[in-house]
Amino acid sequence: MTDKPKPIKLSKRQKQLFPMLDQGLSNRDIAEKLDISEHTVKVHFWRLFRRLGVNSRTQALSWWRTNRPSSDVDALVVGVGVFLAASQSGGSAHLELAALQVAYARYKGEVK
């Protein structure tokens, strides 16, 4: 019998970071979207990197692309979290919805 690796549990906030990483957003941009300080974004990334055993944004994004949620529902939950965070911080709901649609299309493999 082969032992499967134990799944890595991520917080809701950590899951929200991946689509923003995929968009190439800076810490400052992420902080604005989530309505938190840039320092808090750095702390979230530090904890995420430690949990994943990686040392960079590139490695974290690579991990996510390989291990992203396996169901459409999970992917949608992550995307909706990003959409809601941006909307609550005064972002344009129309633009954020468009970004969510693109993220979902990427997840489905329809867009690169």
Domain that holds residue 102: 12-108
Q: What's the number of domains the chain is made of? A: 1
5 inside domain: no
Question: Over the stretch 28-61, which tens digit does the pLDDT of each residue have?
Answer: 999 998 999 999 999 999 999 999 999 999 999 8
Instruction: Transcribe 42-91 into DSSP letters.
Output: HHHHHHHHHHHT-SSHHHHHHHHHHH--SSHHHHHHHHHHHHHHHHHTT-
Question: Over the stretch 15-32, which tens digit does the pLDDT of each residue have?
Answer: 889 889 988 999 999 999
* Closest C-alpha among 102, 81, 89 to residue 24: 102
3 inside domain: no
pTM (predicted TM-score): 0.59
59 inside domain: yes
Tell me the CATH number at 20: 1.10.10.10
